[in-house]
Each structure stands twice: as structure tokens, then as C-alpha cells.
Amino acid sequence: MSIAKEQVTVVVPTLNEEDAIGQVLDDLRKVGFQNIIVIDGYSTDRTPAIVRSKGVGLVMQNGPGKAGAITTAIDYANTPYMLVMDGDGTYSSEDAERLLQSEEFDEVIGARVKGRENIPRVNRLGNWLLSKLFQSVFVTPITDVCSGMYSLRTDFAKTLQIGSTSFDVEVEIASQVASMGRITQVPITYRRRIGDQKLRSFSDGTRILRTLIWMASFYNAGLFFGMIGALAAIPGIALLLLAAYQELVYDTFLPWHLVVAVILLLIALQGGSLALMSVLFKRSEHRIIKRLEEIRK
């Protein structure tokens, strides 16, 4: 069952978007969205004046970066659903309707399928790598975890614990939803940006990667530590076999090979133990939550 637009608050984070914000708001109104809030990061251009001239609610964000805009929006949203959409003209208001086709998901991400050539090449590669890592860690088919257009169930969003301060907020949100809720994606188009790009490819990319690794260790510790154990075990076993081969065939003892192999295998053992403990704790957590839900009913 699709979601009515009256049940949705469209959230548009902005920072110096005077060239695009007017058209973005006009397009949203044309397709029937009326509950619109612009969360502004203290723009120094005409962005606030343009927003007010359109009769749209303007809220100055609390906290730094895009994460501050999103947390502020979550506090202000009072409809069952909220839809986040960047204010730089890269996302289409018509595509926004695609994110409202089902009520069963806590987050629906707009995966940028068409117009990917409008994403800078370095950003495109980084997003692909991050999405592949996200898929592996959280076992979910999300192909565009860094997308700036997504919808959230508001009551679920208000339970999120957001510690990000920048563009890594999308990864942090998706990680929590993938761990505790229901997440999916729909295809959308990405258009050429109007105005200057805010994302810094290297510094923001590494920040997003650090956030993803932290989220993996926190929300899917079993798989995370299991992967660490496997990555340590493979070279450890290879070095151990090499040392044994050298000893048996050439009668040559390679102490450093043996020492490194033992260290790697100990790391693998620790990783496997932590992974097993994490899985057991996770199962216990699910049982407790299920029992509490049964009692609540």
C-alpha cells in the first residue's frame, strides 16, 4: 500500500544553495508535496530569503554538518514518514514519489541508477566500494548507501542514535536500519548539480569508511570479527605451510615465517571467538526482544 503525501514531511538540507533551492521547492509543490521543511546550515547567501519567499518552513539546524541537519529534521518531523532530499537540484521530485510505494519498510533509499555520469568519477568509485562493503557486512542488496534521497519511518528515525557530524550520516542511518529494521531501495535518476559541490572526495570518503567500519563492528559484530579472523587465517595458514615445506624439502628453518604465521593464527582464533560470542549475544538479544513484544501484546 502506497503512502499518501499528506503523511510525509519532505526534509531539504541546505547550505548556500541559492541557485537551486527555489526550483527544488517549486518542483516538490508541483507533484503534490505540501509538508516541506528546509533545514539550513546557516547559509551566507540568499538561500534563507528564497525559502521564506516560497512560503516554506525554514529551520536553522542544531549541530555541525549534514548530520546536524538530519538530526534537527528528525526532531521537527511530526508526520508518520519523512523524506530527505538534497537541495542542490540533483534529485527529482517525481522520483520522490517512488520512495512512497510501500509502508512496510523503515527506510527506502533512492539508488542512483540513471545519470551516474553526473557523479564525479572519484566519488562514483568510492561509493561503489563503500556499497560493496556495506552489502558484505550487513548482508543486504543496497547498491547506493551514500544516496542523498531516502525516506524514513518517523517513529523509527526518532530511535536512531546518530553520532556523525558530516556526510557519513547516510551510512550511519542505513547501518542501523539494516541491523534493527527493514530497508530497501528503488531506482532513481541523478541530475547534474547546480552550484558548487560540498562533498570533499578524499576527506569525506575516508570519514564515511571509518563510520561504516565502526557501524559494522557495533551492529554486526559477528560477521565483522569473523571477516577479520578469516583475513588473518588465510595468510597465517599459507605461511605455516611454507615454513613446513622449507623444513621438509630444503631442510631450512624459517623462524620469521613461523613467528608471523603463529601471530596471524592467534589473531584468527581471537576473531573467531569474538564472532561466536557476538552471534550468541545477538541471538539472546533477539529472544529477549521477541519475548518483550509478546508480553506487550
Domain check: are 204 and 176 in the same one?
A: yes
Choosing from 183, 203, 219, the residue where a domain stops is: 219
pLDDT at 128 exceeding the cut of 60: yes
8-17, 99-108, 207-216: which has the minimum mean pLDDT? 207-216
pLDDT in tens, 16-44: 999 999 999 999 999 999 999 999 999 99
Give the whole-angstrom CA distance, residue 85 versus residue 107: 13
Domain check: are 188 and 70 in the same one?
A: yes
CA dihedral 213→214→219→224, nearest 10 degrees, is 40
CATH number at residue 26: 3.90.550.10
* pTM recorded for the entire structure: 0.73
Nearest to 124 by CA among 109, 142, 144: 144
Instruction: Go through 70-86 and write b for each residue having 16 or more CB atoms within 10 A of its CB, e for each that does not.
Output: bbbbbeebebebbbbbb
What range defines the domain where residue 226 resides? 221-296
Domain check: are 233 and 262 in the same one?
A: yes
Domain check: are 200 and 228 in the same one?
A: no
DSSP code, position 296:
H
Other C-beta atoms lying within 10 Å of the C-beta of residue 119:
21
Q: How many domains does the chain have?
A: 2
